[in-house]
């Protein structure tokens, strides 16, 4: 006897539904020079003309590209940028009914033409029954014209059938700017760095639910030069959402690209600040520089035969942009420095930085130190051979009136036309380049240290 067991078979049928008409995605890439690259993917109506009105008034018309997918072709493309000028209204409404206004009567007729006469005066030709009236500016009333588009709009005629095939729209526009700003909080020999992004929209158009990316780097801008677009896909909608909570920073060609994780709304005229990153604590070194290369010197030796004035030391903060700091390159921007001591915080200065690669050193000049200074005193100059060879004995008076020891870096220039030799030096020295000698001298708190040097220089 054969037993038949009933088996329930569940068949799952996956139907791929094409995107519906009106579905759209928009991505804006902002550049430091104030140019924005727009990449939109939209599904046009199944039939008839396709009109797009939400375009920036600052659009660069020569960059506009309409690229359909599949077998759909662009048959015609028109861009109306000035919707309510005298010329555009007259051209648009030739053949329409207008009302001729005069001091005594009002007549209705048909606008049949217009031209600009001598002196730049504009004239309109209006037919009223069997008469033809020639009237000047301000004498016409357009009637029954319906709703006049007052914003620039793009009209595209596409071939059919369209089958809900997406169309890519790419163009450049100006008026949207971004900048990077940083806050460095220093506490003793360490600090934390916070980065933020400020976006300013003055393009004349607001944007909703838009993907925003930022480019850090220097790009040469010329006509007919456009950034390579990144392909958007309707089917990959979830892939664009799958990001970490913070902006993603990565190399993109020869520049740095920063992708914001979530779509943003950016109304026209609005400034938005977006959190970028916040670092853990990392080492920050404070240096005090007495740079004698910035002092005046005569054109030939002996260089300084008299005592110079006191010079306040320049305060510099130095740190490495490592994985522990930002973990990625830093875009050019402004770093504001804050100091925390005894649970009190104060702003200590700011400096603009260039683009900083991962692993590069960041050096910030925050001002001059109130209690660290120095003076160069020429003690003796001996002529060995007139205009050929000299010896110079110099002492640098280094003063630290603070309550902690500070290392002062003294930099001295070397005249390239002369051969320099250090005969004696009270402290070790280095030569960072062919034209500079420097010393790093540790000065105890509330103390003075004398750095004594004897030079010999000859032609």
pLDDT score for 345: 93
Task: Characterize 130-160 residue by residue with b for buried, 16 or more Cβ atoms within 10 angstroms of its Cβ, and e for exposed.
Answer: eeebebeeebbeeeeeeeeeeebbbebebee
Classify burial at 12, counting beta carbons within 10 Å of its beta carbon; exposed 0-12, middle 13-18, buried 19 or more. Answer: exposed
Record the tokens describing residue 2, joined without a space.
Answer: 């054969």
The answer, as to whether pTM is greater than 0.95, is: no
Q: Which residue, 182, 168, 221, 167, is CA-closest to 46?
A: 167
Start-end of H helices in 359-412: none
pLDDT score for 6: 36
Record the tokens describing residue 204, joined without a space.
Answer: 């004349």
The full DSSP string for 84-141 is: SSHHHHHHHTTTSEEEEE-SS-EEEEEEEEEEE-GGG-EEEEEEETTEEEEEETT-EE
Record the tokens describing residue 223, joined without a space.
Answer: 């006509």
Record the tokens describing residue 127, joined without a space.
Answer: 């037919």
Rounded Cα distance, 400 and 451, in Å: 14
Beta carbons within 10 angstroms of residue 169's beta carbon: 19
Q: Which residue, 323, 292, 320, is CA-closest to 308?
A: 292
Rounded Cα distance, 111 and 113, in Å: 6
Rounded Cα distance, 231 and 227, in Å: 12
Record the tokens describing residue 3, joined without a space.
Answer: 């037993």
Answer yes or no: are the C-beta atoms of 451 and 396 closer than 8 Å: yes
pLDDT score for 238: 32
Record the tokens describing residue 212, joined without a space.
Answer: 């925003």
Task: Characterize 298-331 residue by residue with b for buried, 16 or more Cβ atoms within 10 angstroms of its Cβ, and e for exposed.
Answer: eeebebbeeeeeebebbbbbebbbeeebbebbbb
pLDDT tens across the length of the chain (459 residues): 334 333 333 333 333 344 555 557 789 999 887 889 999 888 888 787 888 877 887 888 888 888 888 888 888 888 776 555 556 666 666 777 777 776 666 778 887 777 777 777 777 788 877 778 777 755 666 656 555 555 677 888 888 877 888 888 899 988 898 999 999 999 989 999 999 999 999 888 888 888 899 999 877 765 433 343 343 443 333 333 333 457 888 888 888 899 988 888 888 888 989 999 999 999 999 999 998 765 544 445 555 545 578 889 999 999 999 999 999 999 999 999 999 998 899 999 999 999 999 999 999 999 999 999 999 888 888 888 887 888 888 899 999 999 999 999 999 887 777 788 899 999 999 998 888 899 999 999 999 999 999 988 887
Cα of first residue to Cα of last residue in the chain, in angstroms, is 120
Q: Which residue, 348, 350, 394, is CA-closest to 374?
A: 394
Rounded Cα distance, 26 and 42, in Å: 8
pLDDT score for 293: 60
CA distances for 190 relative to 336, 349, 435, angstroms: 16, 17, 33
pLDDT score for 30: 92
Q: Which domains does the chain have, with CATH numbers?
A: 17-81+149-177+203-279 (2.60.40), 86-142 (2.30.30), 284-320+368-458 (2.60.40)
Rounded Cα distance, 259 and 256, in Å: 10
In DSSP terms, 3 is beta-bridged to none
Q: Which residue, 358, 327, 256, 336, is CA-closest to 30?
A: 256
In DSSP terms, 248 is beta-bridged to 259
What's the pLDDT tens digit per position in 180-190?
999 999 998 99
Answer yes or no: are the C-beta atoms of 93 and 106 closer than 8 Å: no
pLDDT score for 87: 60
Answer yes or no: are the C-beta atoms of 55 and 205 closer than 8 Å: yes
Rounded Cα distance, 173 and 60, in Å: 5
> H or E segment at 86?
helix 86-92
Q: Which residue, 377, 400, 372, 387, is CA-closest to 453?
A: 377
Q: Which residue, 211, 231, 259, is CA-closest to 27?
A: 211
Answer yes or no: are the C-beta atoms of 173 and 221 closer than 8 Å: no
């Amino acid at each position: 006897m054969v037993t038949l067991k009933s088996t329930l078979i569940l068949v799952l049928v996956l139907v791929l539904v094409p995107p519906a008409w009106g579905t759209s995605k928009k991505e804006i890439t902002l550049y430091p020079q104030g140019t924005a690259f727009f990449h939109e993917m939209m599904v046009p109506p199944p039939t008839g003309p396709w009109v797009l009105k939400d375009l920036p008034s600052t659009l660069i018309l020569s960059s506009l590209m309409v690229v359909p997918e599949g077998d759909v072709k662009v048959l015609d493309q028109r861009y109306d940028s000035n919707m309510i000028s005298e010329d555009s209204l007259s051209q648009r409404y030739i053949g329409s009914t207008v009302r001729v206004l005069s001091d005594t009567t009002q007549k209705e007729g048909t606008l049949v033409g217009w031209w600009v006469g001598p002196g730049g005066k504009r004239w309109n030709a209006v037919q009223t029954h069997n008469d033809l009236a020639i009237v000047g500016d301000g004498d016409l009333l357009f009637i029954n014209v319906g709703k006049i588009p007052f914003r620039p709009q793009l009209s595209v005629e596409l071939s059919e059938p369209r089958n809900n095939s997406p169309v890519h729209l790419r163009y450049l526009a100006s008026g949207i700017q971004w900048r990077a700003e940083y806050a460095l909080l220093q506490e003793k020999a360490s600090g934390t760095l916070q980065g933020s992004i400020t976006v300013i929209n003055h393009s004349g158009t607001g944007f909703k639910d838009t993907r925003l990316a930022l480019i850090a780097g220097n790009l040469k801008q010329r006509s007919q030069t456009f950034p390579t677009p990144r392909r958007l896909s309707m089917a990959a909608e979830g892939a664009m959402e799958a990001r970490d909570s913070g902006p993603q920073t990565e190399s993109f060609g020869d520049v740095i690209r920063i992708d914001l994780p979530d779509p943003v709304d950016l109304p026209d005229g609005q400034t938005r600040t977006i959190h970028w990153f916040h670092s853990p604590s990392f080492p920050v070194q404070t240096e005090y520089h007495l740079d004698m290369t910035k002092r005046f010197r005569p054109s030939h030796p002996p260089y300084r035969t008299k005592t110079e004035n006191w010079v306040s030391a320049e305060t510099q903060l130095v740190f490495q942009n490592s994985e522990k700091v930002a973990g990625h390159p830093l875009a050019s921007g402004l770093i504001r420095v804050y100091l925390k001591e005894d649970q009190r915080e104060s702003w200590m200065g700011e400096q603009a930085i260039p683009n900083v690669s991962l692993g590069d050193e960041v050096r910030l000049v925050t001002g001059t130190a109130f209690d660290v200074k120095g003076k160069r005193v020429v003690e003796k100059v001996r002529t060995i051979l007139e205009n050929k060879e000299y010896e110079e004995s110099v002492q640098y008076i280094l003063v630290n009136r603070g309550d902690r020891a500070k290392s002062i870096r003294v930099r001295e220039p070397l005249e390239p036309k002369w051969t320099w030799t250090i005969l004696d030096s009270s402290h070790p020295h280095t030569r960072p380049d062919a034209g500079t000698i420097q010393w790093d001298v540790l000065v105890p708190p509330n103390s003075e240290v004398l750095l004594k040097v004897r030079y010999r220089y000859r032609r």
